[in-house]
Structures are given as structure tokens and as C-alpha cells.
Amino acid sequence: MFGLRKRDLTREFPVSANRPRLPYPDGWFAVAFSGDVRPGQVVRRRFKGEDIVVYRTRQGTVRVVNPYCPHLGAHLGFGGRVEGENLVCPFHHFAFAPDGRCVRTGYGTRPPKASLTQLTAREVNGVVMVWSHARGEAPSWDVPVVPAQDFPPPARHSTILIDHPQEVVENSVDIGHFGPVHGTSGARVTKPLELNGPRLTLGTSVHRTTPLLGRFDVDFDVEANGLGHIHVIARMPRMGLSALVQIMPTPLDPCRIETRFTVSARLGTAGSRAGRYSSWLATQFFALPSWQGAAQDAPIWQNKTYLRHPRIARGDGPIMRFRHWAEQFYPDEFREIGEAAEVSDPLPFEKGPHGSA
């Protein structure tokens, strides 16, 4: 595993006064990389305007809990520790089992009938994800395992910025910004947007030009599951390079998100064995533009507003169909696009509006 790189883009790029653009969406959201929480470790995270505590028992079970001890309210993220399979509060040493129940006091007396409040958490694709639902409903779908055979361990990166998870996912279908913001040309849809329950898939392709490599194509197969997990397979056929990218935006509070990325790349076809070093190089090669891509979007994202009735033009990606799909992740009273606006998008790109270079 490569070292984790973190950036707080709210400090690097100007931010105007902002207000929440959309409510918190339902679904699965990443709260930690698996490697952030080793056996016996307790970490604090922000999620939807509150602290949460993520810990891993000695045997490897991950739990995510509300931070406040039901005894007298100590914060388990400040001094709480793992003892065997239990989480122990720093204040009076009450211990809590993996099912949340208080199983011991610090005085050897009978424990009170009390439990930690647990969030539904799953570890998948090297990430700890929690389920969030406005009405407290149980998970109705899962984030699938992303097949990563033949890919090396990923590089990881996380950025904090003013934005909303929906806008990060929308960025993948917003073909029109690829040229102006990311400097590519000839953006086009190669596989039409497919919407299937919480799952979205889309194929796109762009030309990129660099002084070193000249012009080459980059093809993207994008899959989103809800608004908290995107995975992309990017291919550069001319170099025989493919990369597996995960992009996971998580609401920290009504205005800010933390987006975690993993990138791993390999040279050659699935059957070939790229050496350790060439995979490492390929991963670094591909990771860099992924990190830079988020920074390129940041000045726009941090200062934009969310228009519920945008003036869509030919050359845009399938933004309104995407938004209609995204409504399923909000409470009923928020669903208006389908009724109030015609859900239609201009024909998909045949030719990019920013030149086919």
C-alpha cells in the first residue's frame, strides 16, 4: 500500500460564502480506508455534521459507533481503547462488546443495560463504508466488490472540499466540462448511460495530449453505486495501460465533503504479469492526473450553486437523466425533477463541442 496523501482544498482555493446545495443523500459512504484502522486502533471521523468513532477489534472486526458513551457521555474517540474484542471507555472503563452491549463496568459490578449506538458498516474494496438513511431504514442494496485481480495495491488520496456527493457523481456524466476544465478534447459517450436501481453505468472517451507522449485516447467505464461510490476503469490502449480508480465522496457536514480516491494501474493485458516496479510506476503515472483532476474541479465546485432547472444544451452529457436517477436517494418530498421538469437530455455527443483536435 502506498502512503496516504491528504489535501484540504478549502485552504488552497478561494471559497465564496456557501450554503447547503442538497440534503444528505441515502446510501453507503466511505468513512475510512481499511488501512487507517488496524487491529486495536480507534479513530475519529466526521460524518453528516457529527463525530463518529471507527475501531477494529484485535480479531479484525470493524465497528462504527456514535462517539458518546451511554454511561456518562465520554467521547470514545478521545482515549477510548480496544481490549481484545471490546471497546473500553476512557472515563470509567466500561467495556462494550462488538454487538454494542455494555459487558463490564470499571468497578467489577454488574454492567447497566446499555449499548453503544452503532452505524451499519461494511468493509468492501479496502474501504470502511457506513449506511445512511434519512428515515433510518436498513440497507436495501450493497456496494459490489470491484474485481481487482492483476492490479497492484492502490495509491490512496483524500481531499476535503466544499461540495456535495451528488455533484461529484454528476461530474462523471458532465461530458461538457472535460475539455474546458481538464484540457482534453473530443469527449464522447461510448456506452450510453444505463440506470438500474442504485447503479449507474456509462462509457466515455477523450483525447489527451502531453508533451512527452503526444496525443492518445483515454477510455472510461464508469460505474456508480449510489452517490458515495464510483469506480472507473480507465484504459489507454496506446500504452497498454489500464487503471482502476475508486472515487468516494462522503458528506462531512452540509457543505463539505471528503473524497477518498484509490488508484491502481497495470501495464499489459489481464493475463500478463507486469513486474512490481512497472506496476508501481504505472500506478504513480496514473495517480498523478487523478489527484490533479480533483484540484482542477475544485475552484468551480467550491463556488458553484446547484440549479434545479439548468439550461441544458446539445453537447452536455445526460445530466437530467442522471439527476432523475439521483432523486431515489432523497426523501419523497425532495423529489421534484421528474414531475416539475421534463426529464430529457439532448442527444449524446457524437462530436465534442470543444474540438475533436
Q: Which does 262 bind (CB under 5 to 8 A by kind): ligand FES, Fe ion, none?
A: none
Q: Binding of ligand FES at residue 94 (CB under 6 A)?
A: yes
Which of 63, 30, 69 is CA-nearest to residue 47?
30
For residue 247, give the H/E element and its range.
strand 241-251
Task: Give the x-and-dash track for 32-71 against ligand FES (CB under 6 A).
Answer: -------------------------------------x-x
Partner whose binding site includes residue 94, from Fe ion, ligand FES, none (CB under 5 to 8 Å by kind): ligand FES
- The set of cell numbers assigned to 272 is 500478463
297 lies in the site for Fe ion, by CB under 5 A: yes
Q: Are strands 127-132 and 241-251 parallel, antiparallel or unpaired?
A: unpaired
Residue 207 has φ and ψ, to the nearest 5°, of -100, 140
**Contact between residue 269 and residue 50 where contact means Cβ atoms under 8 Å apart:** no
Q: Minimum distance between the CB of residue 91 and ligand FES, rounded to whole angstroms?
A: 4
What is the rounded CA–CA span in Å between residue 111 and residue 95?
9
Asked if residue 98 lies in contact with residue 57, where contact means CB atoms within 8 angstroms, the answer is: yes
Alpha helices in 136-207 (DSSP H): 165-173, 178-182
- Comparing every residue's Cβ against Fe ion, the nearest one is 297
Q: Which of 57, 86, 159, 171 binds Fe ion (CB under 5 A)?
A: 171
Tell whether residue 204 is a contact of Fe ion (CB under 5 A).
no
Give how many residues touch Fe ion by CB under 5 A. Answer: 2
In the complex, the smallest distance separating the C-beta of residue 257 from ligand FES, rounded to whole angstroms, is 31
φ, ψ of residue 157 to 5 degrees: the values are: -155, 150
Q: What is each CA distance from 55 to 41, 84, 105, in whole angstroms?
A: 6, 12, 20
Q: Which is nearer to ligand FES, 76 or 265 (CB)?
A: 76
Distance separating alpha carbons of residues 213 and 207, to the nearest angstrom: 12
Burial classification of residue 305, based on how many CB atoms lie within 10 Å of its CB (0-12 exposed, 13-18 middle, 19 or more buried): exposed
- For residue 153, give the nearest of 278, 325, 292, 279 by alpha carbon: 279
Helix (H, G, I), strand (E, B) or coil at 239: helix
Q: How many CB atoms lie within 10 A of CB 351?
A: 11
Q: Which does 171 bind (CB under 5 to 8 A by kind): ligand FES, Fe ion, none?
A: Fe ion
Which of left, alpha, beta for 303 (phi over 0: left; psi -120 to 50: alpha)? alpha
Grid coordinates in use for 51?
A: 463525530
- Min dist CB 74 to ligand FES, Å, is 4
Angle in degrees, 0-180, between the axes of helices 165-173 and 319-326, rounded to the nearest 10: 150
Stretch that binds Fe ion, among 189-197, 226-234, 295-303, 317-325 (CB under 5 A): 295-303
Please report whether residue 91 would count as binding ligand FES according to CB under 6 A.
Answer: yes
CB of 62 to Fe ion, least distance (A): 31
Q: Which three cell numbers stand for residue 44?
A: 475519529
Query: Least distance from C-beta 41 to ligand FES, angstroms?
Result: 19
The answer to whether 6 contacts ligand FES (rule: CB under 6 A) is no
89 part of the interface to ligand FES, by CB under 6 A: yes
For residue 72, the partner it binds in ligand FES, Fe ion, none, with Cβ less than 5 to 8 A by kind, is: ligand FES
The single residue among 92, 273, 314, 351 that binds ligand FES, judged by CB under 6 A, is 92
92 binds, among Fe ion, ligand FES, none (CB under 5 to 8 A by kind): ligand FES
Least distance to ligand FES, CB of residue 73, Å: 6
Nearer of residues 71 and 207 to ligand FES, judged by Cβ: 71
Q: Of 53, 54, 74, 255, which one interacts with ligand FES (CB under 6 A)?
A: 74
Among residues 96 and 220, whose Cβ is nearest to Fe ion?
220
- Residue numbers at the binding site for ligand FES (CB under 6 A): 69, 71-74, 89, 91-92, 94
- Residue numbers at the binding site for Fe ion (CB under 5 A): 171, 297
